Amino acid sequence: MEEPKHPVRTVDRALEIVEIIQERDGAGVSEIAECVDIGKSAVHNHLNTLVNRGYLVKDGDEYQVGLSFLGLGAYARNRTAIYQTARPEVENLAEETGELANLLVEKSGRGIYLYQARGENAVDLDTYAGKQVYLHCTALGKAILAFRPRDEVAEILDTHGLPEMTRQTITDRDTLFEELDRIRKQQYAIDDEERLAGLCCVSAPITDRADRSIGAISVACPVHRISENRLHDELPADVLGVANVIELEHNYS
């Protein structure tokens, strides 16, 4: 992502404060001041302004993200063409598999969940619409990276690295590129406890007419109740079929 030539420091600081509060699921003035390295008085002024506009709410001594962001997020999501096309198919995928189905897109080298649908046996996770994740440790992210040029993937890794999320996370660049080559050949990706211990995901990319990924869909389920056949045969067939339907509608309708 290109850096602005003349960044507005006040705006940048306010957004940094909001992100800190979101990451920590609430924070007080002193905690925020330590993170942004400015005085408590300046932090307090930022917080009061954001509370006044409804973008933050104060709960005791802590501040939380406010509902004003919900309208902006919903508006942005509804303007994303792939969301409109993929949503009903993701819902069908969840219903057919009985699991948690997901839609993810890439923005500035991170994955952003656009939508989730729950089947009757769906597991409860830490994910939600709008949550950002690293791409290298999820089936969704790897499916997206596998259908991007190598130099673009390298730039993403230069920016965000390969942090270890679990003992299964791929943290070596050469190993990841080998994995991406394999995913491109087989057309689907598997996350075998690479982001969360005890969780498996199977994903397929959604590509445009130039075979470049514009998103990915997945099915997530606990390791303890998935067989090898379902992990490597049934679920890949399910996500590939749905991805194909989304691609046809998105690219040719």
3-state secondary structure 179-241: HHHHHHHHCCEEEECCCCCCEEEEEEEEECCCCCEEEEEEEEEEHHHCCHHHHHHHHHHHHHH
pLDDT of residue 232 exceeding 80? yes
pTM over 0.75: yes
Q: What is the pLDDT of residue 211?
A: 95
Rounded average pLDDT over 76-81? 83
For the chain, percent of residues with pLDDT exceeding 70: 97
Q: Distance between terminal CA atoms of the chain? A: 31
- What is the C-alpha separation between 176 and 178, in angstroms, rounded? 5
Higher pLDDT, 43 or 79: 43
Position 253 pLDDT exceeds 80: no
Q: Which domains does the chain have, with CATH numbers?
A: 9-66 (1.10.10.10), 73-252 (3.30.450.40)
pLDDT single digits (tens) 102-119: 999 999 999 999 999 999
Compute CA distances 221 → 98, 192, 213, 236, 250, whole Å.
9, 10, 24, 13, 27
Model pLDDT, residue 10: 86
The pLDDT value given to residue 63: 94
Residue 218 scores a pLDDT above 60: yes
pLDDT reported for residue 160: 96
